[in-house]
Amino acid sequence: MTFISLQYAQFLLVTFAAYWLIPLRWWRLSIVLMASLIFYSSLQVWYIPLLLIATVFNYGLAMAIGEPLDWRIANEAWNRRRLLQLWIGIWLNVLLLLSFKYIPFFLSSIGTLLNLPVALDGADWVKTHVVAPLGLSFFCFECIAYLIDVYRGAPAATSLLNFAAYKLFFPKLISGPITRYHNFINQLKTLEFPTPDRLAEGLWAIAFGAVKKGLLADNLGIYVDLSFTNLQRAGSEDLWLATFAYGLQLYLDFSAYVDIARGTSILLGWYLPPNFDFPYFSTSIADFWRRWHMTLGDWLRNYLYFPLGGSRVGLWRTCLNLFTVMLIAGIWHGAAWGFIVWGALHGLALAVHRLTDTVSKKLRIEFLWENPIGALIGWLLTQAMVFGSWIFFRLPDLKDSGWAISHLWGHTADVQFANKVYTEALGLERVQLSCMLGALAVAMLANYALSRGLKLELNWPMKLVLIPLCLYAVWVLAPEGGLPYIYFDF
């Protein structure tokens, strides 16, 4: 069962009716929990016991960490015990993540470095026989955040039902957005049936997300896959187009998932935090990370960057902290050297931005970046870095990404490539595809100008009119079968 399917529509309708049928909080949380287990079971039923065990473990450990000070125990001993429990929880969640996602990477790296065929064979066996649980990275990050919050003084959950409903809440379970327990569960106090405008908002978010995924991201994905799986045949122009198309696909695909997740939550009376704020219109790399995957950025700041000292430890140490955090972000995204390089490039870019910003302020020349020309230059540099680094994200094998980068200039495409990709698969010429990608970028710019510049938004009656049209268009025009969500792999 995926978000864009008739099965999900039926599932959501039944869940919505059962959820609001009886005005009891425990009933609604029970419905959420049962619906979440059914939803996940439709994808990977064999991992349900693992998720339940991990949920109960983190719930119990947080209860222990959050126990009040016992007057019979010295304060220092009490703090040591809580700190030990916190580290046990953090490392067990990290080990759970490592055991499923990174063992093949470790074995293959060691096997290649030390020329150990046994390690390489082990890596191949694990890749073939072990599939990581969907949403494991998001699941573990939320657990770590919850344990740290409790250690810092937030109250631990006193109801396993509350905590399990939060942890397994099906709209956000697989690909976020990353949500804090206390922000989520406090909404129970004001939970009520959505008003007509909120119902329209929820349905519109689902329909808009379906359009972004089914009509835009999946069609872009067909071209991106054809280009990057035929690297040796693609020319420099094709690689540039595919890189730009992948950047758009990734944004549309992931933001579409979040739109549908947030829309579903609105129908059930919950609020999930936004994850994107027009990131491709950022004029600096720091601004980009305030707008891209916002809940991950918030997690990295609160649970890695600030504990490392943040910006309070001097300029060079701040730059090192930025680099370290983004390196970890790269590792979190996937077990391959390409993701590590991607994280390192973003860490380096953030460090350079911090140095440039500091020097500009000392020399009092920051006005150079605040005028329209400076903002345009900043935007061009930022997007060149972002889209260029997407190559490592899409091609995490360094042999493939290195080949792509080395052939971005002066390489002619194989004659058969244009026929197979553009003419036969897409039914378009390269120029036509370029114009379509440009038109999509212009449409995104217009949306940005209307919503951020002019503060214009469709009213809810108009949204209700457009919702069935959007869903019908997706049903008729989306590629048959669709493509899996990109962030399911993370």
Catalytic residues: 333
Q: How many helices (H) and strands (E) does the chain have?
A: 22, 0
Cα separation, 157 vs 222, whole angstroms? 45
Residues in contact with 227: Cβ distance below 8 Å, sequence separation at least 6, in sequence order: 234, 238, 239, 241, 242, 245, 421
* Alpha helices (runs of H) in 234-284, residue ranges in sequence order: 236-267
452/226 Cα distance (integer angstroms): 35
What is the phi/psi pair of residue 27, to 5°? -65, -45
Taking the C-alpha atoms of residue 263 and residue 199, their distance in angstroms, rounded to an integer, is 9
> In whole angstroms, what is the distance from residue 365 CA to residue 334 CA?
40
- Rounded distance, CA 439 to CA 308, Å? 43
The structure tokens listed for 490 are 């993370």
Taking only Cα atoms into account, the Rg of the chain, rounded to an integer number of angstroms, comes to 24
CA distance 161 to 143: 16
Element spanning 315, H or E:
helix 315-333
